[in-house]
Structure 1
């Protein structure tokens, strides 16, 4: 057991079975992958990493499942259940590569391989690490961890904590929203403590107290704000398209499948890999783009438009989606609430005074 200090949660204890994973080069590489990809080129303090986020999700997931265990002993939650959920929280982002979502969304979007998704790569890495470091996980353990990370909306409550496919209310989102706001210096903070005390499992599903409806909604509203103000900022897109061009002109572009399956090659793919490409390349295209990036001579943002057929001269046309997490639907439609009588069906329009006319904006971003 080790105690560390986290910027969000203060002093937290980390069990030995988690330390055995953390103290490996596969996990330590997350220190070199920024949580928000290229955002630090626009927001200088956005330099926090997947490392602290992963530890935070593990801690928060443990808090949630233990609270349910205390409040509902009839569920017979075991120590193995808690262990699986905490490991899943810890390694859910283990498979991320250079500049986080940039790698999957842009660089790997043209290949056909399950490992193009970082969640699948997380399990792939864990399976290898289990053999390499004698972590003591059985095949059943790994399959449970996989189901917790790659959740389906038909799974039960244990699979609705780290990644909640059904409702979208999960510890991953709770941690990254608060952590991003903290490091960006934004005046937002989501208080989940009341909800944590009152969540209840009914019919194998995590349900939320009706009296906390507006508080639940606030999480998804905050997600929307962050996408609108930070994550989808047009200059970040310009930066990431320059990084994309560097990658597409490098050796890795012709060997994507190999880099996904060869673990030694994959774990080298941190944000530092961009510098590696530059320093080892003689390609004038790479050298020119890299130098322009470092001198902030960036690609030009032309405009965002609902029109899909503008600016044929532009090199990039990106489809940008900004929503509350459930497409153009109210996320509360996917949340199950309860009152003293059990589960309740509600008319959202009668419970919230201000609701959006639409829940998703789709636009096309032109960059040259």
Structure 2
């Protein structure tokens, strides 16, 4: 028996039957997660946010084991009621090794800088996690010793398809495992909410985790295995859980300064990628190969190269280009990121000002449509910058200022989704394509949580929406001046400090 002391869960113990997990922890692929921060650039705002994907992954495996143990304890009670729940629990417990390995390795392919790098190249980390399990020899050997030649592929399937489209046709154990690892009520969220709250010092993400686990239930609804909660015990803790998620997104994950740093990093990666594709970035680094699209998860040698990407290797790249790069745009973006000068955000309201969100032909770098008010602001800012010629943008061309000096950020997250009030597409009954958290009574009969909780009826399907315009830090005063003119719908200044939009 071996143990690791965790600041959140205290002792994480590897009993003899789960000893293979400690062998997975010892593999270089998993040890790499020591060098991947869980919250990316959030330490710009919350200095304590230095915890890693390594610690989070241990926590997720620990919680998965606690859930499995809880279900095992209640099997006797389930035999006297809820045959669907009993079937799902028994099938899940038969997949104990798959469940624990998938929980531990769910982030083994995660890239540096949280999701900023992932968003820049549109490469989901789930795909790379599955690729590591399939092609990394050390990981495969441990899994094969623990569960035979089939175990690596069983784990990889769970990791690459956390939300299976054909969930209604899956075996009960596999469907239950997917829901426990990736759903609205999963062990991944349970760990990162309380861990991120603890490490940032923000108290919004705290809830009664032991009671939530105690209240979990499995059942079959419309032919689909669903993770839910005991109706008598779980409604209040569900409310706490989803409110914690709401506040963590509002105050931590979507913090204005954190988003400004992430957008700056994303712009830096996008510029480096464009230069690399054109042959203008000759630095021979795994990061450049990744940005260029040269690394493919189906090639073991590329997976090995990808695993050399860490926060430290990206920061080394940033340090090098800020000092030696000939491209003034990339050098400026790198210098701002290195010196903690995130882009400045201006809140865009949805009602009561000119920020109406009708679609308009211009596209954002990510391909989304840009609102007219942002285009108006960007053009006004561009005209003024071309007139003033600030030294910090020396060497920047007009299209580069438009592309990298200003950005529009639209974020939407729904803390609790439930399609009970909009029964699927074309009026179809609830099924695999629909999102619910259910509560089960003593006979195993299910009801959507939204129907039982008055609080979640208010929160259901209500997006947390933030619209912001971001500019390079030194352009803050000018941006505020232009934005206030637009908000007042007045004629933009021209001539001495005025701009024509």
Q: Which has the larger radius of gyration?
A: 2
User: Once the 2 structures are TM-superposed, how far is the Cα of residue 236 of structure 1 from its aligned partner?
Assistant: 1.2
Aligned mate of 1:95, from 84, 97, 109: 109
In structure 1, the partner of 2:70 is 67
In structure 1, the partner of 2:336 is 292
Task: Identify the range of structure 1 (357-366 vs 313-322) with the bigger mean alpha-carbon deviation.
Answer: 357-366
1:67-112 deviations in Å (ceiling 9; x for gaps): 21221166545876111111111000111101122222x2113xxx
In structure 1, the partner of 2:304 is 264
Q: Alignment partner of 1:272: what SS?
A: helix
Mapping for residues 219-230 of structure 1, pairs under 5 Å: 219-230=241-252
Tell me, yes or no, if the aligned pair for 1:151 and 1:160 is still in contact at 8 Å: no
Q: Unpaired segments of 5 or more residues in structure 1?
A: 110-115
Tell me, yes or no, if the aligned pair for 2:250 and 2:464 is still in contact at 8 Å: no
User: Once the 2 structures are TM-superposed, how far is the Cα of residue 117 of structure 1 from its aligned partner?
Assistant: 1.4
In structure 2, the partner of 1:112 is none
Mapping for residues 1-368 of structure 1, pairs under 5 Å: 1-14=1-14, 15-72=18-75, 75=87, 76=90, 81-104=95-118, 106-109=119-122, 116-130=123-137, 134-137=141-144, 138=148, 140-149=150-159, 150-152=162-164, 153-154=167-168, 155=170, 156=172, 158-161=174-177, 163-164=179-180, 168-188=184-204, 189-203=206-220, 204-211=225-232, 212-250=234-272, 251=276, 252=287, 255-256=290-291, 257-261=293-297, 262-281=302-321, 282-284=324-326, 285=328, 286-306=330-350, 307=357, 308-312=371-375, 313=378, 315-326=406-417, 334-345=436-447, 348=450, 351-352=453-454, 355-356=457-458, 359-368=462-471
**Distance of aligned partners of 1:182 and 1:329 in 2 relative to their CA distance in 1, 3 Å threshold:** farther
Tell me, yes or no, if the aligned pair for 1:67 and 1:196 is still in contact at 8 Å: yes
Distance in 1 between residues matched to 2:453 and 2:92, nearest whole Å: 37
Distance in 1 between residues matched to 2:416 and 2:288, nearest whole Å: 31
**Distance of aligned partners of 1:249 and 1:202 in 2 relative to their CA distance in 1, 3 Å threshold:** closer
Distance in 2 between residues matched to 1:151 and 1:49, nearest whole Å: 25
Distance in 2 between residues matched to 1:248 and 1:103, nearest whole Å: 9
Task: Identify the range of structure 1 (9-18 vs 358-367) with the bigger mean alpha-carbon deviation.
Answer: 358-367
**Distance of aligned partners of 1:162 and 1:226 in 2 relative to their CA distance in 1, 3 Å threshold:** farther
User: Once the 2 structures are TM-superposed, how far is the Cα of residue 321 of structure 1 from its aligned partner?
Assistant: 0.6
User: Once the 2 structures are TM-superposed, how far is the Cα of residue 255 of structure 1 from its aligned partner?
Assistant: 4.8
Distance in 1 between residues matched to 2:449 and 2:268, nearest whole Å: 50
| TM-score of the pair, normalised by structure 2 | 0.65
Q: Alignment partner of 1:258: what SS?
A: coil
Q: Alignment partner of 1:45: what SS?
A: coil
Tell me, yes or no, if the aligned pair for 2:437 and 2:449 is still in contact at 8 Å: no
Tell me, yes or no, if the aligned pair for 1:199 and 1:206 is still in contact at 8 Å: yes
Alignment RMSD? 3.0
Distance in 2 between residues matched to 1:347 and 1:309, nearest whole Å: 39
Tell me, yes or no, if the aligned pair for 1:148 and 1:160 is still in contact at 8 Å: no
| TM-score of the pair, normalised by structure 1 | 0.86
Distance in 2 between residues matched to 1:297 and 1:166, nearest whole Å: 35
User: Once the 2 structures are TM-superposed, how far is the Cα of residue 24 of structure 1 from its aligned partner?
Assistant: 2.0
Q: Alignment partner of 1:90: what SS?
A: helix
